[in-house]
């Protein structure tokens, strides 16, 4: 069997599976074309602009609100939020005023903490 006949058989198998799937989808969708039963309301057609606003406008506005709530505080502080921007300086919360290099070193007896030795 050559590579061409193998390829042709695979293509035929794929097309057969897709044909069965399409036929099944059409057969299952047939009841959707039924008339509205008696006693049910017949709604007015939907305005395309209203449909577009609900389907696309509401998610877009919601996404913009989320972006504003995420980046707004940083932009209000004057920070850069672009990718590749300079990282902010490290900050020691509750630490001494000035730089960490200004700290004086204490001996082990005065430093506190654990005093375990190896």
Question: Is residue 107 a part of any domain in this protein?
Answer: no
Domain coverage including residue 58: 48-79
**Is the four-CA dihedral 65, 70, 73, 79 of positive or negative sign?**
negative
Residue-wise pLDDT tens digits, 12-66: 899 898 888 888 877 777 666 777 778 888 788 889 999 999 999 999 999 999 9
The runs of H, that is alpha helices, within 1-118 are 3-29, 48-52, 58-76, 108-111
Note whether residue 66 is domain-resident: yes
Residue of 2 and 6 predicted with greater confidence: 6
In a domain, 62, yes or no: yes
Q: For residue 64, is it within any domain?
A: yes
- The three-point CA angle 99-101-80 to 5° equals 40
Give the number of other Cβ atoms within 10 Å of residue 53's Cβ: 13
Rounded to 10 degrees, the C-alpha dihedral 45/51/53/57 comes to 170
Counted domains in the chain: 1
In a domain, 73, yes or no: yes
Q: For residue 58, is it within any domain?
A: yes
pLDDT for 65? 97
pTM over 0.85: no
Is 29 part of a structural domain of the chain?
no
The count of residues in the chain is 118
89 inside domain: no
């Amino acid at each position: 069997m050559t590579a061409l006949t193998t390829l042709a058989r695979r293509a035929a198998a794929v097309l057969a599976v897709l044909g069965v799937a399409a036929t099944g989808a059409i057969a299952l969708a047939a009841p959707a074309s039924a008339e509205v039963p008696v006693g049910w309301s017949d709604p007015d057609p939907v305005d395309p602009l209203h449909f577009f606003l609900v389907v696309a406008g509401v998610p877009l506005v919601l996404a913009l609100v989320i972006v504003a709530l995420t980046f707004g505080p940083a932009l209000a502080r004057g920070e850069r939020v672009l990718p590749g921007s300079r990282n902010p300086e490290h900050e020691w919360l509750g630490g001494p005023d000035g730089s960490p290099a200004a700290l004086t070193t204490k001996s082990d007896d005065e430093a506190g903490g654990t005093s375990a030795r190896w």
